[in-house]
Amino acid sequence: MIHTSTRVVLALAIGFCSAAVAFAQGPSSPSGQEDDAVLKPAEPDFTLINLPTSLRLPRFKSAFRVTHRFVRPLKCDECPNSLLADAFGIDNGALIGLEYRFGIVPNGEIVFYRSRTDRSIEFLGQYGITRQNNQMPVEISALAAVEGTNNFRDVYSPTLGLIVSRLVGERGAIHVEPIWVHNSNLAPDVDDDDTFMVGLGGRLRIRPTVYLVGEFTPRVAGFKPGTTLGSFAIEKRLGGHIFQLNFSNSSGTTMRQIAEGAPNNDDWYMGFNISRKFF
């Protein structure tokens, strides 16, 4: 049975979609409305490394992403071969995730993501509330998600959060993301079962199509084992593609996995993301 709090999040997501559809069926947007299909050089993708951005997906358009995290740490005293001999971890397998994103209404999108870790499936809805302009200094988006382990059949972890973004011209963006995750602790019959975390990240454009990206997500309350999950990356934009090489102290990519943090700050793993816009 799905937990009661999960039903609440699903109800909120359905209500959000209903309100968004009603908005979409209302009067047409005034002249000069920002075109979400136009590239934003400061914010070219829908995610940083693991955390979402406030970039909007045009209505009825879609995007696809592959996440890939090698399981061999870069520094591994117990490994029989050197990092170079193991081809920087390529020989040791990886944890792979697949994501499909669809713009269901203006300013609103839905996301399906499956991670190999715990065979987790995450359903996420995101809606852009404000746009950055002369009157509003930041962009704000709301998100609601539900994750289930074992192909969405076992433990369910609902999530609610906000994405607050500040674009700095065409040079980059800064993101602050307060997020609450329920059932972040997969151990059965425990009281410490919620995590409140604040994702912090940014993207800096150092060349016309090359970016440096970083993020970390401290847990400020609730279940917070280990240490904070942190990642940094370099990426290349090529048309509708983003190719990103990243390094993280954990392989977590879903909201619950981010809430679990990282075991320590000694082991770092190489990985990559590849994303593609279909518009």
Distance CA 35, CA 221 (A): 39
Residue pointed to by tokens 């996420």: 124
User: pTM for the full model?
Assistant: 0.86
Per-residue pLDDT tens digits of the chain, which is 279 residues long:
444 444 544 444 444 444 444 433 333 344 346 899 999 999 999 999 999 999 999 999 999 999 999 999 998 888 888 888 888 778 888 999 999 999 999 999 999 999 999 999 999 999 999 999 999 999 999 999 999 999 999 999 999 999 999 999 999 999 999 999 999 999 887 878 999 999 999 999 999 999 999 999 999 999 999 999 999 999 999 999 999 999 999 999 999 999 999 999 999 999 999 999 999
* Vertex 153 angle, CA 148 and 154, to 5°: 70
CA neighbor of 129 nearest in space, from 141, 118, 113, 144: 141
Architecture of domain 4-22+42-278: Beta Barrel (2.40)
- Tokens representing 38 are 């136009």
For residue 119, the number of C-alpha atoms closer than 13 Å in the C-beta half-sphere is 6
In angstroms, the CA 76 to CA 14 distance is 46
The domain locations on the chain are 4-22+42-278
- Please say whether the beta carbons of 198 and 216 come within 8 A: no
